[in-house]
Chains A and B, each alone.
Chain A
């Protein structure tokens, strides 16, 4: 119970902190919307309405991933700069339980972008998205955000020990859009890419959101999204323990 409370309070306060800057908030909505607009123009020229709708749903999920990938990698660097990283590591709470709420809060902010992009597609481009299963859509979007938060956790812990690991976020942002089927169906990607896609929670999360929006059966994808996300969380917990110990040996916690 106290662990749940710790996670909930951590998530809420991190969300509060990240929502304080209106500029950051606007950027987290406008930035993915810019890419989504490009996608809408491309698919509209193609004339295939089904593909346009599918791309619109995928594009709406891009912002969730963007909100996590770059921010998760830089978050511990930010904690270092403001002198709080040592306080977090020095607390009796497991470091993983401190970081997971932070990265899930980033994904939560990405949900704003998901809603904004869908509205943008509907209002400006007239993309007809009718939610056949609105409740399932909400569940799928929440599971997507949660799992992406867990992937972000794995990214974040790597920068406890290595200060320059923040660059990983920028490195992964665009490739994940492509290989996880945000914009194009996985079926058109080369065969060797698909096993990589299957290992990534966004693949299943985007498929779940798409199925929920377009009337498919989203539950298997929701389950796989949760399962792969949990696997990343387990790897993150093990890695966090080792990297924090390594940071204590190498005295990198206070280095900016």
Chain B
């Protein structure tokens, strides 16, 4: 039996503006999505900002009621049995918030251990074990207001694991963490799944999803536009190539000219501070490098490279098509 079952899940937000003449606006953030996650699986939900990732997670963790459709976690309906669901899940949101700043890390954990019904005699050892796991041993008596962003995020993880949840929801957990901290976080998440915890992860970092996730769903505009293993998603664009060209003068108005080259499927620009990186995705048969360089004639160019598509390329392509 799947641990998470989502069927035709929809969530609509209604906003009202104006005082005398009230106007009502409906926004459908999630539009009838369906997916399943098996026990011990690490499932990634990828999508651009506003795609509906956080709304989906909030419905699964019972903080939002769906407008229609259904969702079950460990066999419990998120609408009819919220308390049963809450007992068995943990969730961690990214960012600085969600902690009591004036309390120590230890007091924060004590408080949430009570809220999650961790028996009194188990609290001490469990908190000690988690502090060790997230590398906060020795800092637990300091007030959270003095913690770095990485320490806060690690404390969030410890909080989410206090009651040994069967399912863990991680909503952009590595946001704002330095590379070393993010790597440690990935190791922690990987070790959880190896112990049988089911994880649903949202992230903007494609390498993170590629490294961690067993399966991924790409969500855009409230719809799931693709689902599969990272390898399957990559294979969707595997028959193409990616040309990367470093441009020092700024690409400016040459983008449309590059896009118009036959065989080019998409063009993106990544700002690298003193230069820009033009990323040109092509279909398999096309050899476009000379044509692209021709369109950029007169600009100061740096490195030119051709590589195989990554998960990020697959993601960009899928979102672009959505």
Contacts and interface: CB of A to CB of B under 8 A. Distances in A.
Interface in A202-256: 245, 248-251, 253-254
B83 A10 contact: no
Contact of A251 (B62, B64, B107, B143): B64
Given A83-B98, A84-B100, A251-B13, A93 B115 contact: yes
Interface in A1-24: 2, 5-6, 9-10, 13, 16-17, 20-21
A171 interface: no
B98 A2 contact: no
A90 interface: yes
Contact of B103 (A6, A16, A83, A249): A16
A87 B86 contact: no
A254 B55 CA distance: 11
A82 B64 contact: no
B159 to A, nearest CB: 8
A90 B91 contact: yes
B63 A248 contact: yes
B65 A249 contact: yes
Given A13-B107, A82-B99, A83-B97, A88 B115 contact: yes
B87 A92 contact: yes
Given A2-B117, A248-B65, A13 B110 contact: yes
Contacts of B100: 13, 17, 82, 84
A237 to B, nearest CB: 15
A22 B101 CA distance: 15
Contacts of B97: 82-84
22 contacts: A2-B119, A2-B120, A5-B114, A13-B100, A13-B103, A13-B107, A16-B103, A82-B101, A83-B93, A83-B95, A86-B58, A89-B63, A90-B62, A91-B112, A92-B83, A93-B115, A93-B116, A93-B117, A98-B115, A249-B65, A251-B64, A253-B63
Interface of A: 2, 5-6, 9-10, 13, 16-17, 20-21, 82-84, 86-93, 98, 245, 248-251, 253-254
Given A86-B63, A93-B115, A248-B64, 6 more contacts: A9-B110, A13-B110, A21-B102, A83-B95, A248-B62, A248-B63
Nearest to A18: B102
A89 B49 CA distance: 25
A83 B101 CA distance: 11
A249 B14 CA distance: 10
Nearest to B59: A248
B257 to A, nearest CB: 44
Given A13-B107, A16-B103, A92-B86, A84 B98 contact: yes
A184 B315 CA distance: 71
Contacts, number: 80
A249 B59 CA distance: 10
A90 B61 contact: yes
A218 B107 CA distance: 39
A9 B86 CA distance: 21
B111 interface: yes
Contact of B86 (A10, A91, A245, A251): A91
A34 to B, nearest CB: 26
Contacts of A89: 63
A62 to B, nearest CB: 26
Contacts of B98: 82-84, 86-87
Contacts of B83: 92
Nearest to B14: A250
Interface in B72-109: 83, 86-87, 91, 93, 95, 97-103, 107
A88 B91 CA distance: 12
A88 B102 CA distance: 17
A84 B155 CA distance: 14
Interface in B11-35: 13-14
Contacts of B63: 86, 89-90, 248, 253-254
A92 B103 contact: no
Nearest to A84: B98
Name the 3 nearest CB pairs between A and B, nearest first. A83-B97, A91-B115, A83-B98
Nearest to A245: B65
Nearest to A6: B114
Given A93-B117, A249-B65, A253-B63, A10 B111 contact: yes
A95 to B, nearest CB: 10
A253 B63 CA distance: 8
Contacts of A90: 61-63, 86, 91
Contacts of B14: 250
A20 B110 CA distance: 18
B115 A6 contact: yes
Contacts of A86: 58, 63, 93, 98
